[in-house]
Structure 1
Amino acid sequence: MMWMDHGQSADSYYEVKPGITDAPKTKFRIKAGRTLSARKWQAAFSAEGQVDFTKILSRIHRGGIHPSIRGEVWEFLLGCYDPNSTFDERLQVQEQRRVQYALWKEDCRQMFPLIGSGRFITAPIINEKGEPVLDPLVLLETNMGNGNGGSGDTTIENLRRDNSPMSQKEIQWKLHLHQIGLDVKRTDRALLFFEKQENLSKLWDILSVYAWIDEDVGYCQGMSDLCSPMIILLDNEADAFWCFERLMRRLRGNFRATGRSIGVEAQLSNLSAITQVVDPKLHQHLETLGGGDYLFAIRMLMVLFRREFSFGDSLYLWEMMWALEYDPDLYYVYQDSDSASENTDGSKSRTKSIRHYGKFERENLKSGVKEDAPLPISVFLVVSVLKDKSPRLLKEARGLDDVVKILNDIAGDLDAKKACVNAMKLHKKYLKQQAKKT
């Protein structure tokens, strides 16, 4: 019976390329009775298709989601579907979204025919004035008639729809395309999945379409790390796009930048304030080293620990976070419509009892602490990691380079479940202190 205690490794679901020996091993184990199985997931549905999430959330927090159903469950956790919808209603929503994605993708293809071609670029195609870049590498990458499955001799000059001047939005979008391509080539390089050109181009297509529809954010480095799991878990490209789009609704504030600040600065400021309370000695040490703005933690928050955990463990961490933060009204909040009833003050009605919310969200509701923008669990996760490494940081860090090195050394060593448990403890402590101030 010992093998049951250790559980089945999830690494077989996310195969590493042959010959790569330095990829961190996944600690996450599929455990009978703990991990959300396909059988338990199916049992949560009514005959019409409504899902009872009350038991599902605690199961996810205890043991994660079985890789075979991960994509489907994530769509609910991220608010793609209303858990109270029927099977038929979800099919309708899915079809509408697939049509919408196809329309956006066609708009992008009209502007740049490599979209949807199974290929992508890594060199700039225009300069900031919108003029074509006549670089040999650009010409090589954009020449679709060179025997790589393209049709016709498409060169940089005729990749434009016509000779009319490009809008500023189109110029900005085309300036993103090569950076997306460069990041796509670097994303999860160890995984066998990305040996296939079609999977790389699918990632490029989704990120390119997103950059077109989200004019405020466009594309920023790190977004490819957030999108990559979606195309691995969901076969349909449009479904993967919408799952990524829902995740970006949570995180896009981190990527928004004005002339003077970046969106993630507010979270870094909160991170600093919480660390000062829970580990004042470490906070003072980091301040002394010149790391008071905590910029060294920016990557953890931007890409949700993708670099600090193995691929399998980062997925496990994400789903635990989303289960803890789960809000049953999330689908309605994301609809940008009058689907959810509103109170006289304009706020959305809480139509569920508190037990329908994730544990982290329940703590926020019970605390009575009123915040315009409650802190995400990811901030408390970073604090828990810093606190865990506090003895080493205090002993060995003599400069910010040392801090970065120590935090880089933890890659593959962290325990996702332990990090979540510690984050919850810190969150509870934080709420008690906030309540005292009011």
Structure 2
Amino acid sequence: MSPSPPLSSASSASSSAASASGSSPSRRRASPPLHSTLQREDFDEVLESEVFVDVNRLRKYARHGVPDEIRGEVWKYLLGVEKPDRSNEFTQRRARYEAYQEIDKENVEVSKRVRGEVTRYLMRTKKDAQLDPHTVPAIFEAVICAYINCNNHIEYSPALIPVCAPFVITMKNECDVYSCFERLADVLYKSSQESNINKRVAQFLSYFRTLMPELYNYFEEEDLDVGEWASSWLRHLLSKELPVPSVLGLWDVYFAMPDYIDFHPFVCLAILKHLKDSLEDLEQSEIRSMLLRLPKMNISRIVSQAYNIRSEIQARYNTSISPRS
């Protein structure tokens, strides 16, 4: 594999931060169980191919989770940032790196807001994210300012921080963080334009009411603002609500799918079903707190349940479902 071009970030701080936020940012791990080692060997066999990376095999393996140490490398292929054909690998990486260097990363108003939100995010996730608070804020700042400066139609939102965070956690350098974040942010923006998100929320709530009428009615009795949490869940792939390890595991599955935006509402329904008994024991403020800060959960089981729910909905409506149709 050709080496990545050296990264010279927007500032010396963000350059050192890029090194600090590699695919395995300093964290302690127990020895992996045998099945994890075998899984890692499967990924390595694909990634170490000298001519062509079989992305279809990566997708197949990623559906069962990606080892932490190589998640960033795998995501780059799943998101189309790295090309499967390695004949021009170094040239393509160099071009991407140089294009990123040319982007204006100065935005005083956005920078100030990013710094404040990153500080809050790091305090909230310090046990799981394991990010260096002295270095990584510069990466968030440069990447998000670059994205906003390149997309004048998009306004800064605090939600961009948790959407960007998984890439800061898993990627070795700032250019890769930007490239992957840009891919996902573009998809989320297109799926969340106002008329579209309103339609998606309405359809999601219709499924919720059909599948879990008792819980839906209980939310109404408690006068819960369903639109508040449902819109956030659908807009940002649960990056704000789920603990970091759960987000990473869920996104492994999503990036391996061609239609993860369409599949996502069923994951949200599976989470509600998983938490149903707990939620029915809570009052309004407690329900809201749980929905906005979800507990850690077994993502494999949630995804499996989501497939079952999608099949059930398709059978009920006797149709092939697309939440954006």
User: Shorter-normalised TM-score: what interval?
Assistant: 0.7 to 0.9
Distance change >3 Å, CA 16–CA 45, structure 1 → 2: closer
Matched, 1:429 2:318: no
In structure 2, the CA distance between the partners of 1:47 and 1:382, relative to structure 1 (3 Å rule), is: closer
Match of 1:419 in 2: 302
CA shift for structure 1 position 72: 0.7
Q: Aligned ranges for residues 22-421 of structure 1 at < 5 Å?
A: 30-33=32-35, 37-44=39-46, 48-62=50-64, 64-83=65-84, 85=85, 87-105=86-104, 108=105, 115=106, 174-189=108-123, 190=126, 191-196=129-134, 198-253=135-190, 256=193, 261=194, 264-291=197-224, 293-323=226-256, 325=257, 327=258, 361=259, 376-397=262-283, 399=284, 401-408=285-292, 410-412=294-296, 414-421=297-304
Q: Structure 1: 5+ residue runs without aligned partners?
A: 1-11, 18-25, 109-114, 116-172, 328-360, 362-373
2:3 alignment partner in structure 1: none
CA contact (8 A) 2:72 2:172 kept: no
Q: Letter of the aligned partner of 1:389 in structure 2?
A: L
1:150-196 CA-to-partner distances (Å, cap 9, x unmatched) read xxxxxxxxxxxxxxxxxxxxxxx654332122112222331543232
Shift of 1:15: 5.3
Q: Larger radius of gyration, structure 1 or 2?
A: 1
Deviations 1:325-384 (A, max 9, x none): 2x3xxxxxxxxxxxxxxxxxxxxxxxxxxxxxxxxx5xxxxxxxxxxxx95222111111
CA gap 1:255/1:437 in 2 versus in 1, 3 angstroms: closer
Change (3 A) 1:94 1:403: same
Which amino acid letter does the alignment assign opposite residue 34 of structure 2? Answer: A
Aligned-pair CA distance for 1:45? 5.4
Distance 2:308 2:299 in 1: 15
Give 1:291 deviation, angstroms.
Answer: 3.9
Q: Post-superposition shift, 1:428? A: 1.8
Provide the rounded CA distance (Å) in 2 between the counterparts of 1:426 and 1:90.
41
Distance in 2 of aligned mates of 1:432 and 1:35: 39
Give the secondary structure class of the aligned counterpart of 1:423: helix
Contact preservation (8 Å) 2:167, 2:180 = yes
Deviations 1:116-151 (A, max 9, x none): xxxxxxxxxxxxxxxxxxxxxxxxxxxxxxxxxxxx
CA offset at residue 404 of structure 1?
0.6
AA aligned to 1:213 is C
Looking at both structures, which has the greater relative contact order when contacts are Cα pairs under 8 Å and sequence separation is at least 6?
A: 2
The TM-score, its normalising length taken from structure 2, stands at 0.78
- 1:305 and 1:375 map into 2 onto residues whose CA distance is 12
Distance 2:181 2:69 in 1: 19
Cα shift at 1:90: 3.1
- One-letter amino acid of the counterpart of residue 295, structure 2: A
Matched-pair contact (CA < 8 Å) for 1:282–1:390 = yes
Aligned length in residues: 295
Q: Which amino acid aligns with 1:211?
A: I
State the AA in 2 paired with 1:49: V
**1:335 match:** none
Instruction: Give the CA deviation at 1:14.
Output: 5.1
Which whole-Å CA distance do the structure 1 matches of 2:37 and 2:250 have between them? Answer: 13
Q: 1:47 to 1:73 in 2, by over 3 A?
A: closer
Instruction: Look up the match of 1:330.
Output: none
Give the superposition deviation at 1:316.
1.4
- Do the aligned residues in 2 keep the contact of 1:285 with 1:394 (CA within 8 Å)? yes
| Alignment check: 8 A CA contact 2:224 2:288 kept | no
Deviation at 1:415, TM superposition (A): 1.7
The match for 2:20 is none
Q: For 1:187 and 1:407, how far apart are their aligned partners in 2? A: 17
8 A Cα contact 1:104 1:209, kept in partner: yes
- Whole-Å Cα distance in 1 between the matches of residues 94 and 101 of structure 2? 11
Q: Residues 47, 193 of structure 1: CA spacing in aligned structure 2 closer, same or farther, 3 A cutoff?
A: closer
Residues 22-72 of structure 1: per-residue CA shift (max 9 Å, x gap) = xxxx9x99543357744322322585532224443333223x111121111
Structure 2: gaps (5+ residues)? 1-22
Give identity over the alignment, percent.
18
Q: Cα gap change, 1:304/1:276 in structure 2, threshold over 3 Å: closer, same or farther? A: same
Q: Determine which structure has the larger helix proportion and give its number.
A: 2
In structure 2, what is the Cα distance between the partners aligned to 1:201 and 1:319?
26
* Aligned partner letter, 2:73: E
Aligned mates of 1:290, 1:29 — CA distance in 2: 48
Q: Secondary structure at the match of 2:318?
A: helix
- CA pair 15-94 structure 1, distance change in 2 beyond 3 A: closer
SS at structure 1 position matched to 2:51: coil
Whole-Å separation in 2 of the counterparts to 1:237 and 1:375: 26
386 and 192 in structure 1: CA distance in 2 versus 1, 3 angstrom threshold: closer
Cα separation, 2, equivalents of 1:29 and 1:266: 46
